[in-house]
């Protein structure tokens, strides 16, 4: 790939959505505040565009967050657009390592060679040159995560108001996380604001006056979260190969070591299956080669499949590993929706987690969730009230919590109802849009 040519940006098409659809879900004072906030932001941005820049249009929480939020801004008269940067396989291998380091995890050390930094900066230079053709003075650019962080200086030099948003972090920073901070920090000095998902994720040494925390959210009306008819449920579950009868324990995630699908499988095999003879585990994720910014997925999936084959046949037959098609994003989202609604218990056994949108999605569908006590999952689940939190490395505790909910339908139903209310109050799109809108207006 030539270091001199401009990158080929992907402009993701986003159709507008009316904010009025949220009116029945919000209390009247909140609805009034939301509608006023959107109108004020549209007025303040007249003649300027808001750009969201990230590294993939599908797969993972950031892409889903953008797909759920941008339509409502556009529907409110805000010119917001979504651009995906270009990168080589070497670039995405490097940025995946940075992503893991920001979670405090490393498989091959914390250092970066001059050649690796050159790979990163070369990609940033090509993408910045392409963005210079479309970004104007006074535009607002929200740059997402480490993949695109190196664009901040060039975009700022164009006269744009640049916000860097980090969707990942670690509860207790270690040397790995700090190594990632030091790699990225030189590129971020000219940002007008830094947005983190949780206060715990804010880096040491940043200008506190520029720091904001905005928790992610879900869209109640997106394909992944809308109500489904019985006929739709039947078709989608059949396509996924999931049985209509029996009890289902489900984890939906990318094939990522930090999501620990192998640990989920062993927790089920050792601590759930022997006690619940009609229960199956479904591990669902995207087709392994379909997420362009995560080159580790095929390897993790192959390890999972190998360990699945090594299980006792009677257990292995009750573990379904489902690769969801990604060529039709609406169909993929609908299949995830059906799987979450079909599940008796949803699991999210992450070893580290920026926020965990799959937890919010399942809670919105009134599913009881058993999840790791890490990252933003702890912000969503109030342990014992609207879900269960466990130590991410304690397979027995995970299995015990899942078994208890599978066997106690009344408790599971109460927990699921409380979970839906928790998401309605705290983690739907209007709250996020208002907080982001206040930040943008303050910077304008």
Token couple for 261: 């699908």
CA distance 158 to 137: 6
Token couple for 324: 């969801």
Q: pLDDT exceeding 90 applies to what percent of the chain?
A: 85
CA distance 326 to 175: 36
Structure confidence at residue 430 as a pLDDT band (50, 70, 90) = very high
Taking the model in full, what pTM does it have?
0.87
CATH code for residues 10-217+428-443: 3.40.50.2000
Q: Per residue in 174-217, pLDDT tens?
A: 999 998 999 899 999 999 999 999 999 999 999 999 999 999 99
Asked, colleague to colleague, whether 10-217+428-443 and 230-426 share their fold, the answer is: yes
CB 332 within 8 A of CB 286: yes
Show me where the domains of the chain are located: 10-217+428-443, 230-426
Fill in the DSSP letter of residue 391: -
- Please classify residue 30 by burial: count the beta carbons closer than 10 Å to its beta carbon, then call 0-12 exposed, 13-18 middle and 19+ buried: middle
Q: Per residue in 300-358, pLDDT tens?
A: 999 999 999 999 999 999 999 999 988 888 899 999 999 999 999 999 999 988 889 89
CATH code for residues 230-426: 3.40.50.2000
Structure confidence at residue 1 as a pLDDT band (50, 70, 90) = very low
Q: pLDDT exceeding 70 applies to what percent of the chain?
A: 97
CA distance 402 to 139: 48
Structure confidence at residue 241 as a pLDDT band (50, 70, 90) = very high
The residues, ordered by sequence, that sit 6+ positions from 128 with a Cβ below 8 Å of its Cβ are: 151, 154, 155
HSE-up of residue 43 (Cα within 13 Å, Cβ side) = 7
Q: What is the dihedral of CA 173, 178, 179, 182, to 10 degrees?
A: 160
């Amino acid at each position: 790939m030539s270091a001199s040519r401009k990158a080929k940006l992907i402009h993701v098409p986003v159709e507008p959505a009316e904010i009025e659809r949220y009116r029945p879900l919000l209390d009247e004072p909140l609805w009034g505040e939301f509608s006023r906030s959107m109108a004020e932001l549209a007025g303040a941005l007249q003649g300027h565009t808001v750009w969201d820049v990230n590294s993939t249009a599908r797969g993972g929480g950031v892409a889903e967050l953008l797909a759920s939020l941008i339509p409502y801004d556009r529907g409110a008269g805000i010119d917001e657009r979504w651009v995906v940067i270009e990168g080589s396989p070497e670039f995405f291998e490097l940025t995946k390592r940075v992503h893991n380091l920001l979670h405090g995890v490393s498989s091959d050390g914390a250092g970066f060679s001059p050649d690796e930094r050159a790979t990163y900066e070369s990609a940033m230079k090509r993408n910045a040159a392409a963005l210079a053709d479309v970004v104007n003075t006074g535009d607002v650019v929200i740059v997402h995560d480490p993949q695109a962080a190196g664009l901040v200086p060039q975009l700022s030099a164009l006269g744009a108001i640049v916000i860097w948003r980090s969707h990942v972090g670690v509860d207790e920073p270690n040397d790995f996380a700090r190594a990632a901070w030091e790699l990225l920090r030189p590129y971020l000095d000219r940002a007008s604001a830094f947005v983190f998902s949780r206060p715990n994720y804010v880096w040491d040494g940043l200008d506190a006056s520029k720091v904001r925390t905005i928790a992610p959210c879900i869209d109640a009306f997106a394909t992944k979260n809308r109500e489904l008819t019985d006929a739709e449920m039947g078709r989608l579950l059949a396509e996924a190969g999931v049985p209509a009868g029996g009890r289902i324990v489900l984890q939906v995630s990318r094939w990522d070591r930090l999501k620990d699908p192998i640990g989920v499988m062993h927790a089920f095999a050792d601590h759930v299956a022997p006690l619940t003879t009609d229960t199956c585990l479904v591990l669902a994720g995207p087709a392994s080669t379909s997420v362009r910014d995560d080159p580790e997925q095929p390897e993790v999936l192959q390890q999972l499949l190998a360990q699945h084959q090594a299980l006792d046949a009677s257990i292995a037959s009750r573990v379904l590993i489902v690769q969801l098609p990604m060529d039709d994003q609406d169909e993929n989202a609908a299949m995830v929706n059906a799987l979450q609604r079909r599940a008796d218990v949803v699991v999210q056994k992450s070893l580290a987690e920026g926020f965990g949108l799959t937890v919010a999605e399942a809670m919105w569908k009134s599913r009881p969730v058993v999840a790791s006590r890490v990252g933003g999952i702890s912000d969503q689940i109030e342990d014992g009230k609207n879900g269960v939190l466990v130590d991410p490395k304690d397979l027995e505790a995970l299995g015990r919590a899942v078994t208890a909910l599978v066997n106690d339908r009344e408790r599971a139903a109460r927990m699921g109802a409380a979970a839906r209310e928790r998401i309605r109050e705290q983690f739907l799109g209007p709250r996020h849009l208002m907080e982001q809108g206040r930040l943008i207006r303050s910077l304008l």
